Each structure stands twice: as C-alpha cells, then as structure tokens.
C-alpha cells in the first residue's frame, strides 16, 4: 500500500524506460503489482510489451455478487493484468486468510485465465523449530492438491520466509536453495518431473540490489518477488540487471 496514482504511473514509466535500455533478447519477464485502483493506468502506461506486464496484489474468491469492496478476477483481467498474487504472508497474518480461502482464490484465478503467484513460507518460530519443510509442504498441498498439472500450467510459486520480509534479514543463498529445491521436489512428486522443472519459483524477502545476484545464482531460484526495493526504479532495475547477468 504505497504511492498515489501519479507516483505510481511515474514509477512504472521509469521502469519501462529503463528496460528499453537493456538488450531485448535477454530481458526476463517483469511484473508490476500496483494497488487495485492503479492497475488499468499502469497497464496503459506499459503498453503492449511482451516483457513487462501487471499483476493484482490480491483478488476475491467470488466471481460476482453482493461483496462490497471486493475485486473479482474478471474485474482484474479487464484492466489488462495477467497475474494475481495469492496468499501473501500479510494476507495470511493480518487478514487471517485460511488455506481453504487461498485455494478458492487460486481456482478463481485459473478459471479466469489469470496466472496465480502463490506465496508460501514459514514464520520465524517455525524456522527455529525446524518445521519449515512441514509448513511449506502443507501450504503447497492445501492450495494445489487434486488440481491437475494442466490446470496449474500458469502457476508461479513465491517462497517468502516470513521472518525475512521487511526485516532487512534475508535467507542465505544456501537456505533459499534448500527450500526452493524442496518445493520443486514436492511438485515433482505430486505433478510430475516435467511440470516441476518448468515451474517458476521466486524468492521474496528483503531481496535488494546488493544480494539479488547471489540469490538468483542458486540453481532453483528463478527470480524474485520484490518488496521495498521495487518502490525505487533504479533499485528495481538493478535487481532485474542482476538476473540478466547470470
């Protein structure tokens, strides 16, 4: 929940302009996730570009109806957005979103042909008590269990250790790789090796220009879900450049 409309458009335009200076054949997929009221304006600012698109930060689990204040997947899609972040740690902790509720949102996205970015990750006490694999596996199974690999073809996973979000503390490359490899193996067992090998798994949690390259160099880290560092175009572009330099 940052920036007003004018500031958001300026940031998106600065990022778009910065990407135009990078070699086009090396550009990764870049996704901007502004607040709901700004999705259409940012999508229009970015224009038709295969390398950069928009995502909502959340969505309703319902398609339509008397749910004042909610935003449906069809509304999101009509803005030009192509992704939705589901189950972010702040939604889980501050708004008490349950695993069943997150699964309903995931299915709503799939049915609307939107790509869900499913956030999973353990809290500090779960890390300290060595229950992090158990916690993450439960989150994966609760959201994607019994859904076919075809239904999940657009799925993106974002591993965000809750203890690293906004704290300035990030998982070490070894910790990130260990968990990302575990996530990939979990999907290999449930959805097949071919699915797991092409599944994008992002790291989120105090990723910044200083540590991005080291984190992204890990075998099973495919990119980042960037928080505070994305609010500054120069920092965000530096993180993108780190991914391109690998």
Count up the domains in the chain and report the number. 1
pLDDT at 166: 73
Q: How many CA atoms lie within 13 A of 67 on its CB side?
A: 10
- Residues 199/181, Cβ–Cβ less than 8 Å: no
Where helices occur in 166-226 by DSSP H, the ranges are 173-191, 193-198, 212-216
pLDDT at 48: 80
Measured distance CA(122)–CA(183) in Å, rounded: 13
Its domain, for residue 159, covers: 5-244
pLDDT at 65: 97
pLDDT at 53: 96
Measured distance CA(71)–CA(177) in Å, rounded: 35
The model scores a pTM over 0.85: yes
pLDDT at 159: 97
Q: Strand, helix or coil at 190? A: helix
pLDDT at 21: 93
Show which residues are catalytic: 88, 160
Q: Give the CATH number for residue 15.
A: 3.20.20.70
CA 175 from centre of chain: 19
Measured distance CA(244)–CA(216) in Å, rounded: 10
Measured distance CA(2)–CA(76) in Å, rounded: 19
Let me know if 4 is exposed, middle or buried by CB neighbors in 10 A (0-12, 13-18, 19+): exposed
pLDDT at 74: 98
pLDDT at 15: 96
What does the pLDDT profile of the chain (246 residues) look like in tens digits?
999 999 999 999 999 999 999 998 889 999 999 999 999 999 999 988 778 999 999 999 999 999 999 999 999 999 999 999 999 999 999 999 999 999 999 999 999 999 999 999 999 999 999 999 999 999 999 999 999 999 999 999 999 999 888 777 778 999 999 999 999 999 999 999 999 999 999 999 889 999 999 999 999 999 999 999 999 999 999 999 999 987
The strand ranges marked E within the chain are 30-32, 52-56, 83-86, 115-120, 156-159, 201-203, 223-224
């Amino acid at each position: 929940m940052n920036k007003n409309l004018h500031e958001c458009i300026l940031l998106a335009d600065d990022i778009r302009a910065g990407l135009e200076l990078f070699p086009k054949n090396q550009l990764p997929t870049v996704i901007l996730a502004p607040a709901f009221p700004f999705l259409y304006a940012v999508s229009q600012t970015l224009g038709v570009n295969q390398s950069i698109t928009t995502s909502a930060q959340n969505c309703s689990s319902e398609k339509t109806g008397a749910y004042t204040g909610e935003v449906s997947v069809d509304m999101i899609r009509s803005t030009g957005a192509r992704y939705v972040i589901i189950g972010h740690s702040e939604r889980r902790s501050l708004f008490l979103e349950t695993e069943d509720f997150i699964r309903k949102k995931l299915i709503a996205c799939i049915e609307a042909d939107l790509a869900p970015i499913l956030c999973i990750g353990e809290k500090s006490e779960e890390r300290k008590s060595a229950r992090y694999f158990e916690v993450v596996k439960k989150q994966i199974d609760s959201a994607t269990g019994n859904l076919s690999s075809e239904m999940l073809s657009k799925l993106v996973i974002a591993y965000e250790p809750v203890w690293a979000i906004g704290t300035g503390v990030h998982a070490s490359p070894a910790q990130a790789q260990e968990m990302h490899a575990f996530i990939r193996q979990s999907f290999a067992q449930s959805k097949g090796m071919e699915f797991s090998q092409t599944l994008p798994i992002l790291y989120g949690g105090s990723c910044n220009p200083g540590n991005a390259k080291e984190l992204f160099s890990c075998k099973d880290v495919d990119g980042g879900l960037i928080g505070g560092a994305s609010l500054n175009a120069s920092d965000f572009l530096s993180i993108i450049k780190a991914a391109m330099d690998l």
